[in-house]
Structure 1
Amino acid sequence: MTVRTEDRLLLAALRHSARRTVFLCLTSAAGSAAALLLPTALGHTLDLLLRHRAAPHLMLLCAALVGASVALDAAQTLLSGTTDAKTTAWLRDRLLHRILGVGPYAAARFTPGDLAARCTGNAATAGTAATATASLVTTLITPVGALVALTLIDPWLAAVFLAGGPVLVLLLRTFARASSDCVSRYQRAQAAIASRLVEALGGARTIAAAGTAGREAARVLEPLPELSREGHRMWRIQGRATAQAAVLVPLLQTAVLAVGGIRLATGHLSVGELLAAARYAALATGVGAFVSRLAALVNARAAAARATEVLALPTMLYGDRKPPFGEGQLELRGVTVVRGGQPVLEGLDLRVPGGSTVAVVGRSGAGKSVLAAVAGRLTDPDAGEVLLDGVPVPLIDRAELRREVGHAFERPVLFGTTIEDAIAYGVDAPTPQRCRAAARAARADGFVSLLPDAYRTERARAPLSGGETQRLGLARAFAHCGRLLILDDATSSLDSVTELQISQALAHDVPARTRLLIAHRASTAARADLVAWLEGGRVRALAPHHELWRLADYRAVFEGVADA
């Protein structure tokens, strides 16, 4: 039998929480044993009292069993809570590492809101699998044990109860099948709302400027009717199962008591045995608790299925090599990248000489940012290979690669508590002196020095413009780059004078030997040693800007782009 991926994840969760789950099972089993012993003890006590015989030892046993049940129930509650928390934390850790490990392009298969839903609500629900499984298994002990005890008291009573057994089994099977489907749809609707909400929060300024808050709120809540419909359906399914059980269980108990009364009248049962039989009949029909545990396991399984879709994303594997000393020569051989079923780069060949500055230009959608991502291994090509100083980048150690390749982006995101933290953020923390030198090269030192605590100013207390944020992103790249620096349109928010100053600093104040620039301005391309002109997913030409400028098609690439 094939084990489904979500079941494998739940089994892994059980293994991770094995010790706590075993303790939980033992505690639950002990609680079930106490519950099963209590009716027999009460029955014997009652029979002795009816015969006017003292039974202090049995009364003490009954009290001890009641106390044990309370203590074990408290321990079970504590273990369930801690096991759920530990398992959820483990699952969230796996999800987060997988999301960050696959790279931004692979993770883009899911929207940010959907990923947030999977890492929070779905992970928390799937994290209850260990306790749900343990509870489901131990919940079976009580009815099975009660049925055995009922058989030992009087086989006729057990036979009466078993007559309704097939109906109970059919009820549980129908409940599991019907609830699984609607739980999955409910969780998908939750994720859709979360995804739309994250998008709306990201575009809050645009929504406010457009005056479309009401329309956007309606769009975010559009899946709400489906969420409500599936939620009500879940309750109807569970309510139907509970109602059916509520009808069946009293009938079974009444039948057992009726037969038990007849057996009592004929002298085959004592009063105490009838009392115990009534209690065991109630315990044997504990289908309500079983339905609840089964519902929790169905929910956990559906949530695990959503988590496995994220965990199925292929991670980027790294080698253990350190690139040999070199000038940072970058080479792309036959690189093909497919997005949405269409090739963005197709059989692309590009050689960036070590120690040179190469600008990549092309019309919108030509694949410039994809090329930058492939060059710095933020994503892997679907075909072809990328080499840094003759070594294929997948063979290079992750930390070594990040030390050697620096990235700056059009819309950088800053991390850390302070401005200095934001510049120092990376695999290694550069010295404060290097951070300040990088800020000066990025022309960020001027405005940072005016902040209340300069480089120690908390980012939350430093409102930054788009250009200032971009310069801090450049400073971060300058502080960390080794032999290769990749700027993905990282100066688009800067004025031409500041961009010129940074370009001059690149040549003298930045340690990177090789620079790959994604350029939209002709002036940026003109300052590079070579220009790689992208067209149709390939490099149409690799030559100095002044040579390409003679071509009308090349000049057309920059039409409509503001330049100095």
Structure 2
Amino acid sequence: MKGGRGLTAHELGTPARVLLYSVRRAPWWTVVSVVSRVAGIAVALAFPAALARAVDAALGGAPGLVWLGSLIGAALLTGALEVWAAAAGGIAVEVSLRRGVIRRVLEAGIPGRRRFSSGDVGSRLVSASEAANLVSIVLSALGAVALSAGGLVALALIDWWLAVAFVVCVPVATVLVRRFVAETTGLMRSYRRLQGDLSARLVEALTGARTIQAGGTLDREVERVLAPLPELGAAGRATWEAQRRTVWKVGLLAPLTEVVVLAVAGVGVSDGRITAGSWVAVAGYVTIALGLLNVVDPLMGLAHVRVGTARLAEVLSLPAGPGGPRALPDGPGAITFRSVTVHARDGAVLGGSVAIDARDEGSVSVCAGGGAVLDGVDLDIPPGLAVAVVGRSGAGKSTLAALAGGLLRPDRGEVLLDGADVAEVCPEELRRAVAYAFERPALLGDTVHDMIAYGSVDVSREEVELAALRVSADGFIRRLPDGYDTALDRVPLSGGEAQRLGLARAVVRERRVLILDDATSSLDTATEAEVTMTLTRLLAGRTRIVVAHRAATAARTDLVVWLEDGRVRATGPHDLLWREPDYRALFGEAVPREPA
């Protein structure tokens, strides 16, 4: 992972690795949890003996409650300390897990992968909370086993027949618990998968709420979103049924075992082998020994962790986004494509990698059937020019734009920025050299000022206002309730206004390359002309790549790259290409020619 070592799928491969990861992330809290758990076990094992001593002392007329009171105080203290350490350590691990998974999600460009929609990723992140409690779960299970073993040893020390009576019931309980864990693990895996599917469908529906309302398809969409619900309910009921079958058997086995052991102890009292106080101790120790049956809850938690971390590991196993450790050399912004080929994978969306300014919902290229979006593209973009990329829908315009700034790695070939392969350049350096603006810019930040300054360090108010002025956004911003300090959740922006804010964010700092992926499509003709004039004149000297759909936009650039079926059909000035009937057809014959 770029920028330092991050969370890997290997670290979540097995519960043992998750446990090791948790210990590394919260070492001191783990130590406190272990110490308090061990102390609690010691106190619990000492308590029945102290109670027996107190009973015998009371029957003999001597005081014996001091030691018993001290143990009660120690039990309260160790219990509180354990809860505190478990909570603090769990929070530290959960934060680390969520940070690692979210970082990989953003690096890998999850929005461009249908397998992991935002709703599905959200449901998977819930597993981080369960995994964060793994130390506590393991300590609970080990503590139950240790207590049970200690109780059994104490019974044997009092009278070995007591231990024999108890051990007879252990194999039955072991078989029940093992069968329960094996059954519920598979059921929970199915339940989590269906839960993620339902969440993903809901997020998709919310995203397309206006389309659903306009199409009058509300009932049909509700049915589509809830389609996994019957199967989800069946998986949930099956899990509870498995737990019910196990719990009642374990619940029946516990009192039967206790009755048998106490009956044997009663015989010992009548024979004079066991004192009255020791009989009281037996009642305490048999309850402690039966704690082994309480390991069902920790094992259930362990099954949750196994399923949840496996789902997190699927996200972490995705390849990281483009970029490497190489430094970007100084240069004027020359871009070269050498035999570049990009394939669509299973009809998935391309060009969605995420890196600072690329978190917008931009135009994307889709190629059904897994064909080539770009096929053997060779192209030289001279530095300092304004270049329009034109072509029909699906020609690969947005994919080419994503490649130029290193948001997408080609399947074959290489893309060079000032002689450096962008696939090997450090992403942080690329973001300082390349700025993007998209068709639907994401409004990130608290205020309008923050949104424009997002991704640029130490940007002054003057620079933000200048950027907004350059893209004709200053006027409507100053009409907002608090101007540039207006909270974004109070800004009812039109599509054109949002695009102008996105453009301002792209031009707020001097970068050698500026890439506009359909970033002026919602502007009216007059505003688009003003913005294009800024891009061609005031920003002269930067390399500017504009994905264009209007003849007027292409006419104002220095060079046009004409894409057709994933290949470069022609390059040249707009005036020269306009002579081609097929080129004019891209914009419609009725569109009048506008001189450069």
Give the TM-score normalised by the residue count of structure 1.
Answer: 0.93
Task: Supply the AA of the counterpart residue of 1:324.
Answer: P
Query: Are residues 373 and 128 of structure 1, via their aligned partners in 2, closer, same or farther at CA, if it must alter by over 3 Å?
Result: same
1:130 aligns with 2:139: no
Query: Are residues 9 and 261 of structure 1, via their aligned partners in 2, closer, same or farther at CA, if it must alter by over 3 Å?
Result: closer
In structure 1, what is the equivalent of residue 27 of structure 2?
A: 18
1:357 Cα deviation from its structure 2 partner? 1.8
> C-alpha separation between the residues in 2 aligned to 1:348 and 1:85?
49
Indicate which of 91, 95, 102 corresponds to 2:101: 95
1:460 Cα deviation from its structure 2 partner? 2.4
Task: Supply the AA of the counterpart residue of 2:108.
Answer: V
> C-alpha separation between the residues in 1 aligned to 2:547 and 2:305?
46
1:562 Cα deviation from its structure 2 partner? 7.3
Aligned positions, number: 559
1:481 Cα deviation from its structure 2 partner? 4.7
1:178 aligns with 2:183: yes
Please tell me the root mean square deviation across aligned C-alpha atoms, in Å. Answer: 2.3
Indicate which of 287, 312, 317 corresponds to 2:317: 312
Indicate which of 110, 116, 124 corresponds to 2:122: 116
In structure 2, what is the equivalent of residue 496 of structure 1?
A: 525
In structure 1, what is the equivalent of residue 562 of structure 2?
A: 533
In structure 2, what is the equivalent of residue 160 of structure 1?
A: 165
1:108 Cα deviation from its structure 2 partner? 5.3
Query: Are residues 157 and 288 of structure 1, via their aligned partners in 2, closer, same or farther at CA, if it must alter by over 3 Å?
Result: closer
Q: For structure 1, which segment, 77-86 or 441-450, has the greater mean C-alpha deviation from structure 2 after superposition?
A: 77-86
Q: Do the aligned partners of 2:101 and 2:315 also contact (CA within 8 Å) in 1? A: yes
> C-alpha separation between the residues in 1 aligned to 2:592 and 2:449?
32
> Structure 1, residues 204-260: CA drift from partner, whole Å, max 9, x if none?
222333343343333323322233222222222222221111111122222212222
1:105 Cα deviation from its structure 2 partner? 6.0
1:431 aligns with 2:460: yes
In structure 1, what is the equivalent of residue 475 of structure 2?
A: 446
Q: For structure 1, which segment, 155-164 or 534-543, has the greater mean C-alpha deviation from structure 2 after superposition?
A: 534-543
Q: Do the aligned partners of 1:172 and 1:291 also contact (CA within 8 Å) in 2? A: yes
> C-alpha separation between the residues in 1 aligned to 2:540 and 2:133?
51
Query: Are residues 109 and 223 of structure 1, via their aligned partners in 2, closer, same or farther at CA, if it must alter by over 3 Å?
Result: closer
Please give the secondary structure, in 1, of the residue aligned with 2:65.
helix
> C-alpha separation between the residues in 1 aligned to 2:102 and 2:591?
41
1:328 aligns with 2:337: no
1:63 aligns with 2:69: yes
1:411 Cα deviation from its structure 2 partner? 0.6
> C-alpha separation between the residues in 2 aligned to 1:256 and 1:456?
74
Q: Do the aligned partners of 1:478 and 1:511 also contact (CA within 8 Å) in 2? A: no
> C-alpha separation between the residues in 2 aligned to 1:393 and 1:166?
63
In structure 1, what is the equivalent of residue 91 of structure 2?
A: 85
Query: Are residues 24 and 324 of structure 1, via their aligned partners in 2, closer, same or farther at CA, if it must alter by over 3 Å?
Result: closer
In structure 1, what is the equivalent of residue 47 of structure 2?
A: 38
Give the TM-score normalised by the residue count of structure 2.
Answer: 0.88
> C-alpha separation between the residues in 2 aligned to 1:195 and 1:468?
30
1:274 aligns with 2:279: yes
Stretches of structure 2 that go unaligned for 5 or more consecutive residues are 1-9, 347-369
> C-alpha separation between the residues in 2 aligned to 1:314 and 1:187?
23
In structure 2, what is the equivalent of residue 9 of structure 1?
A: 18
1:27 aligns with 2:36: yes
Q: For structure 1, which segment, 251-260 or 553-562, has the greater mean C-alpha deviation from structure 2 after superposition?
A: 553-562
In structure 1, what is the equivalent of residue 194 of structure 2?
A: 189
Task: Supply the AA of the counterpart residue of 2:558.
Answer: D
Query: Are residues 15 and 289 of structure 1, via their aligned partners in 2, closer, same or farther at CA, if it must alter by over 3 Å?
Result: farther
Q: For structure 1, which segment, 104-113 or 240-249, has the greater mean C-alpha deviation from structure 2 after superposition?
A: 104-113
Please give the secondary structure, in 1, of the residue aligned with 2:410.
coil
1:337 Cα deviation from its structure 2 partner? 2.0
1:389 Cα deviation from its structure 2 partner? 0.8
Task: Supply the AA of the counterpart residue of 2:129.
Answer: A
In structure 2, what is the equivalent of residue 256 of structure 1?
A: 261
1:203 Cα deviation from its structure 2 partner? 2.1
Please give the secondary structure, in 1, of the residue aligned with 2:508.
helix
Task: Supply the AA of the counterpart residue of 2:33.
Answer: L
In structure 2, what is the equivalent of residue 420 of structure 1?
A: 449
Query: Are residues 379 and 493 of structure 1, via their aligned partners in 2, closer, same or farther at CA, if it must alter by over 3 Å?
Result: same
1:140 aligns with 2:145: yes
> C-alpha separation between the residues in 2 aligned to 1:131 and 1:4?
17
1:420 Cα deviation from its structure 2 partner? 1.7
Query: Are residues 231 and 520 of structure 1, via their aligned partners in 2, closer, same or farther at CA, if it must alter by over 3 Å?
Result: same
Q: Do the aligned partners of 2:144 and 2:292 also contact (CA within 8 Å) in 1? A: no
Please give the secondary structure, in 1, of the residue aligned with 2:285.
helix
Q: Do the aligned partners of 1:99 and 1:107 also contact (CA within 8 Å) in 2? A: no
Task: Supply the AA of the counterpart residue of 2:266.
Answer: G
> Structure 1, residues 137-183: CA drift from partner, whole Å, max 9, x if none?
22222111101111111122112211121112111211111111111
Q: Do the aligned partners of 1:105 and 1:379 also contact (CA within 8 Å) in 2? A: no
Q: Do the aligned partners of 2:342 and 2:373 also contact (CA within 8 Å) in 1? A: yes
In structure 2, what is the equivalent of residue 75 of structure 1?
A: 81
Q: Do the aligned partners of 2:18 and 2:131 also contact (CA within 8 Å) in 1? A: no
